[in-house]
Amino acid sequence: MITQYHRPASLDEALQLLDQPGTLPLGGGTAINSPAYKGQDFAAVDLQALDLKRIEAKGNMLEIGATASLQDLLENAHTPAALQQAVRQEAALNIRNAATVAGSLAACGGRSPFAAMMLALDAKLTILSNASSTTVGLGEYLALRPRGLITRIDIPLNVKCAYEQVARTPADLPIVAVALVQWAGGRTRLALTGTGNAPLLAMDGTESDGLEAAAKNTFHESADQWASAEYRMDTAATLAKRCLAAVSV
């Protein structure tokens, strides 16, 4: 549970506070207040006064401030339609209004439509830690979930994207979902979600050849209480094919 609450007015102050052991950034607070965090005591550093909410298109990139809400991103005029769809699938309106973009990536599980789409987009995270700034791809971030304050997330705008999912009901989190992004030069990134601890990168190639096989192979050992591996492999291949058709028009 939260044992201390801080609301710094500057990044410097926030970083000093976050340097202390047992201290976590607080975005929208929707995950941090959940039972998953109940077993630990920690100090929370609320980011809301830090002016990290802006979403700006710069050239071919969209720069998304860490504390922009999922709903801010959904409503932004530059947000690609497939990303809007993934954000809509991530959570209902009340949660989208509170949950931040950075908090959602930091806390994402293996059934996150939003994180899968951001992984396919090869989102780059700017992370401040010990007064140094690094930029890491979301895939690298999800593998290690390092400490540090995410301040910005950048995604490309000069791409075609598609998202497809299968779930128990239209608004439920996916059992199998596929996010596909294609750059003008042919680069193709495919991410899958629906099981495990984080979305998986199935392919990052110079063209789309082998897309269905990559989708199948990635879910080779994906059996859980929701679906067999065979079901996920076949469904992912079908959804990947549909996504490819969608970006090819």
CA-based Rg of the chain, rounded to a whole angstrom? 18
- Helix and strand totals (H; E) in the chain: 9, 12
Question: Any idea what the Cα angle at residue 99 is, between residues 95 and 100, rounded to 5°?
Answer: 155
30 counts as binding ligand FAD under rule CB under 6 A? yes
**Residue 191 beta carbon to ligand FAD: minimum distance, rounded to whole angstroms:** 15
Binding mask 151-180 for ligand FAD (x = CB under 6 A): ----------------------x-------
**Residue 20 beta carbon to ligand FAD: minimum distance, rounded to whole angstroms:** 13
- Which among 32, 52, 51, 50 has a CA at the least distance from the CA of 42? 32
- Which among 87, 97, 100 has a CA at the least distance from the CA of 25? 100
The answer to whether 33 and 107 are in contact (CB under 8 A) is no
The answer to whether 32 and 44 are in contact (CB under 8 A) is yes
73 counts as binding ligand FAD under rule CB under 6 A? no
Interface residue with ligand FAD, options 112, 188, 218, 235 (CB under 6 A)? 112
11 counts as binding ligand FAD under rule CB under 6 A? no
34 counts as binding ligand FAD under rule CB under 6 A? yes
**Residue 93 beta carbon to ligand FAD: minimum distance, rounded to whole angstroms:** 11
Count of other CB atoms within 10 angstroms of residue 74: 19
47 counts as binding ligand FAD under rule CB under 6 A? yes
In the complex, the residues that contact ligand FAD under the rule CB under 6 A are 24-32, 34, 47, 66, 90-91, 95, 98-100, 102-104, 106-107, 109, 112, 149-150, 173
